[in-house]
Amino acid sequence: MKTCYCFFFLILIISCGQKREVQHATTNIYLPKIVDANSKTIMGNLMFKKAHLEVDSIVKGLNLRYPNVVLEIQKQSNDTLYTFIKDSYYLGERMGNTGVEDYFANAIVNITQLGTIRFVNFALEDGSHVAPGVWGIDDYKNYKLKP
């Protein structure tokens, strides 16, 4: 009987891991850069499809990658994209400092790949780890580019 439970548990772990890989792979086709906030690196995404180099597709990729943090586009004015996160509780209270840094790095670096956008304005509620504001690609100039 213990063998049966162990086998069931193993199957459950394997199936959960496969679902996560599929979701991450799907997300990657929408994001031109892979950003790692822990190692402070940015590298090109080989799975990215150039047809997705538009703001709606990049925001879709971010929302797939971070399903608990839904980013909405409000408008674009000159070189700034104005966005809104309606429910920022998960971002501000559950992701921690590292998670928030990872989210903003991925959002800003990928959105600014469009060339016409240099800054992203995030409207959201204050949280323990997050506050509304405007960030640009220059905020990530200390990140290393990896080939």
> pLDDT tens digits, residue range 78-115?
999 999 999 999 999 999 999 999 999 999 999 999 99
The per-residue pLDDT for 57 is 95
Angle at CA of residue 95, ends 94 and 97, nearest 5° = 120
Say how far apart CA 112 and CA 80 lie, in whole Å.
9
Report yes or no on whether pTM surpasses 0.75.
Answer: yes
Dump strand ranges (E) for 1-77: 33-36, 41-44, 71-77
Q: Where is 64: in which H helix or E strand?
A: helix 55-65
Say how far apart CA 2 and CA 55 lie, in whole Å.
52
CA neighbours within 13 Å on the CB side: how many for 6? 3
Residue 55 neighbours by CB under 8 Å, 6+ apart: 73, 76, 81, 111, 114, 117
The per-residue pLDDT for 87 is 93
Buried b / exposed e along 77-104 (16+ C-beta atoms within 10 A): eeeebbbebeebebbbeebeeebbbbbb
